A and B are shown apart, each in its own frame.
Chain A
Amino acid sequence: MAYLLKDVSILGGSPTDLAIVDGVIAGDAPEGAEVIDATGLVALPGLVDVHTHLREPGREDAETVETGSRAAALGGYTAVCAMANTSPVADTAGVVEQVWRLGREAGLVDVQPIGAVTIGLAGKQLAELGAMASSAANVRIFSDDGFCVADPRLMRRALEYVKAFDGVIAQHAEEPRLTEGAQMHEGEVSTRLGLTGWPAVAEEAIIARDVLLAEHVGSRLHVCHVSTAGSVEVLRQAKARGVRVTAEVTPHHLLLTDELAAGYDPVFKVNPPLRTRSDVEALRQALLDGVIDVVATDHAPHAVQDKECEWAYARPGMLGLETALPIVLSVFGEKWDLIADRMSIAPARIAGLTGHGGDLSAGTPANLTLVDPSARRVVDPAELASRSRNTPYAGMTLPGRIVATFLRGEATVLDGKAVK
């Protein structure tokens, strides 16, 4: 299948034609190519998410690889990294290969499994990281996300061990002793609401420790969902010293604050929790400065009964894939180079996904998405492709609509609808 995108704006540049032939960006379109009028549309390299929960295997009532892949494609993504906290945990070559294969079968985005750092995410004993790396799934990111690798000696060993295959440990930074029973950001609002606080220092202390460990052993470290101004300062200093650390921020931490907990609706419960306005400002600046490298969704689908309950009993997490780009657009405006870097190029580099995060030049793989920046959309949970409904943005009017997404030249989304 060949496509000719007429009058498309590549990364906000002046209108031009873009041809897609045999899975790659081409100089010219052949006779009979399907012509898409892309007037007013912006082409971006397909987005890449380094932090997605697809829930399969184990919680197919909340999401499957297929439904999550569809949500991703509709959000403009061409690759997602699937977190390991499934049931069974993705801590063996067998499970990561299963997830990888399900992704191939769905065929809507590249699903790159993340392997668990420790067996069963228990934080006691290393999982077979090498076996997962050399499996068909070709795992390069390892994470116990959901839990912190809290034991400093184990964290050190993990950082060292994955050097052999250029792996990276993605840390969910949360000192568990400081967050026992924690329900929301520790501050004025938690005091008022009588909910146990999750102090910023519980994140910052782990990041500070881990950048020192990574520096000591000369390894790569990736920090998941940075949420506090203090964490930004720790990262800024570490990067200035040359530590090989990368970091992500979620769309919700770039927009929402802890005040939203006031009605006790668990749709706003997430881990790490929503923080304060000044944290939000610091995170935005850090993303602009490059102290934070990428936007990652931490897309976390949950079944209705896990959210329609008391705050303390609800599971933490929010949907993110279908709203990430609109949120980033609403926060930063049409800074297309920034968006392409933080949502595609840098995450592809961190995840080692060659073929994604390209520059849309001729000869590169045709992984791209077309955005209509002038469109406005009211978020309706019922319209989401995800199997779950736990979006914190219900009723919000957001800019930007994904019109089309192409994975290796095949349309996964056309006219704003998934092709399958």
Chain B
Amino acid sequence: MIKHLRSAADLDAATATLILDTAAEMAALSGREVKKLPALRGRTVVNLFYEDSTRTRISFEAAAKRLSADVINFSAKGSSVSKGESLKDTALTLQAMGADAVVIRHSASGAPHRLAGWVDGSVVNAGDGTHEHPTQALLDAYTMRSRLGRLDGLRVAIVGDVLHSRVARSNVLLLTTLGAQVTVVGPPTLIPLDVAAALSSRTRVSYDLDAVLPDSDVVMMLRVQTERMQDSYFPSAREYSRRYGLDMPRMKKLPEHAIVMHPGPMNRGMEIAPEVADSPRSTIVEQVANGVSVRMAVLYLLLGGK
């Protein structure tokens, strides 16, 4: 088993599949009366969150607690090099506390890589800057597999601000590792020029959402921050949603079986219409539930739980 989960690229197909299979077992166990497993009793998991993300933190916290781990929430919001303790000093503190795993969310890309050099425990990336969010990709893959029965050969469209999206990066890496065919879709300003060369040769690029939808089994809508307008990535929220938003008429272009995903939090009316978000094709609520099972599996496997 790998020691850290810093990037979805840390996972080969066998390891990723093991995590998904383990998550399925965790989900089955969680469904039973006794919600706590003794697997990580006596182990310490630290949630080190430099960015506000209550939903991700709660998901990791629930996962660790269901495995009977001791959980320490270390909120370092607002910290930067200029104020507060440095990441290295914090790492040394966590090291002294005997953290077996550190779950880190940070606004700087690569912070989990740096942290892994300073602590002995496992490091789990819970989102770093515009780099990656590998457990989100795992829960997305888990959701696709449970809805559609497979990942190999699945056609997945990832739509929106791929340039700034850690969810997109991790999903492209993980899904292509697991045999899916990924198409990233968005305005050219928000699609990195060399995305296929950088991430996976099984990645296609399209600037035309309508053309991609009929051939998609999964469409994943990314959150688009309206601030991007000020940087001229697109002219207006209205034009963005007209060209790249998923509304009801567009959803009808999808094949019958196709599902709609969103990592949240959503901008309803921007990248996704409310009726689409709330439709039976939408997996958005399931994604949240699956998040706990997947994170249980990750912590269990990384820490070698028994």
Q: Mark A172-189, 1 if CB is under 8 A from B, else 0.
A: 000000000001000111
* Number of A-B pairs, beta carbon distance below 8 Å: 67
A191-B192 CB under 8 A given contacts A310-B110, A313-B108 = yes
Q: Does A263 contact B (CB under 8 A)?
A: yes
- Give the residues from 217 to 258 in chain A that come closer than 8 angstroms, CB to CB, to chain B: none
When chains A and B are docked, how far (Å) is the Cα of A263 from the Cα of B193?
Answer: 22
Residues in chain A near residue B130, CB distance under 8 A: 194-196
Within the complex, which residue of A188, A189, A265, A310 is in contact with B87, where a contact is CB–CB below 8 Å? A310
Q: Mark B92-128, 1 if CB is under 8 A from A, else 0.
A: 0000000000000010111101100000000000001
Within the complex, which residue of B114, B131, B193 is in contact with A193, where a contact is CB–CB below 8 Å? B131
When chains A and B are docked, how far (Å) is the Cα of A188 from the Cα of B106?
Answer: 23
B194 touches A263 (CB 8 A): no
Residues in chain A near residue B199, CB distance under 8 A: 191-192
A189-B198 CB under 8 A given contacts A310-B114, A311-B109 = yes
Q: Does A308 contact B (CB under 8 A)?
A: yes
Q: Does B53 contact A (CB under 8 A)?
A: no
B198 touches A195 (CB 8 A): no
B86 touches A193 (CB 8 A): no
Residue of A nearest to B88 (CB): A308
Q: Does B295 contact A (CB under 8 A)?
A: no
Residue of A nearest to B173 (CB): A192
A193 touches B108 (CB 8 A): no
Residues in chain A near residue B88, CB distance under 8 A: 308-309
Shortest CB–CB separation between residue A313 and chain B, in angstroms?
A: 4
A194 touches B81 (CB 8 A): no
Shortest CB–CB separation between residue A262 and chain B, in angstroms?
A: 9
A194 touches B109 (CB 8 A): yes
- Give the residues from 166 to 223 in chain B that come closer than 8 angstroms, CB to CB, to chain A: 166, 169, 192-195, 197-199
Shortest CB–CB separation between residue B238 and chain A, in angstroms?
A: 26
Total count of chain B residues near the partner, CB < 8 A: 26
- Give the residues from 305 to 326 in chain A that come closer than 8 angstroms, CB to CB, to chain B: 305, 308-313
Residues in chain A near residue B114, CB distance under 8 A: 264-265, 309-311
B194 touches A188 (CB 8 A): yes
A194 touches B131 (CB 8 A): yes
Q: Does B129 contact A (CB under 8 A)?
A: yes
A309-B87 CB under 8 A given contacts A191-B192, A194-B128, A264-B113 = yes
When chains A and B are docked, how far (Å) is the Cα of A311 from the Cα of B192?
Answer: 20
Residues in chain B near residue A188, CB distance under 8 A: 194, 197-198
Shortest CB–CB separation between residue B1 and chain A, in angstroms?
A: 21
Residues in chain A near residue B192, CB distance under 8 A: 191
Residues in chain A near residue B81, CB distance under 8 A: 305, 309-310, 313
Residues in chain B near residue A312, CB distance under 8 A: 108-110, 129
Q: Does B161 contact A (CB under 8 A)?
A: no
Shortest CB–CB separation between residue A176 and chain B, in angstroms?
A: 14
Within the complex, which residue of A187, A194, A196, A310 is in contact with B169, where a contact is CB–CB below 8 Å? A194
Residues in chain A near residue B166, CB distance under 8 A: 194
When chains A and B are docked, how far (Å) is the Cα of A341 from the Cα of B90?
Answer: 49
Residues in chain B near residue A311, CB distance under 8 A: 108-110, 114
17 A-B pairs besides A195-B131, A311-B109 with CB distance below 8 A are A188-B194, A188-B198, A191-B192, A193-B109, A193-B131, A194-B130, A194-B132, A194-B166, A195-B129, A263-B113, A264-B111, A264-B113, A310-B106, A311-B110, A312-B108, A312-B109, A312-B129
A-B contact pairs, 23 of them (CB 8 A): A188-B194, A191-B192, A191-B194, A191-B199, A192-B198, A193-B109, A194-B110, A194-B128, A194-B131, A196-B130, A264-B110, A264-B111, A264-B113, A264-B114, A309-B81, A309-B86, A310-B111, A311-B108, A311-B109, A312-B109, A312-B110, A312-B129, A313-B80
Instruction: In the A-B complex, list the 8 residue pairs whose CB atoms are closest, starting with the nearest.
Output: A264-B110, A194-B131, A191-B198, A310-B108, A313-B81, A191-B192, A194-B130, A194-B109
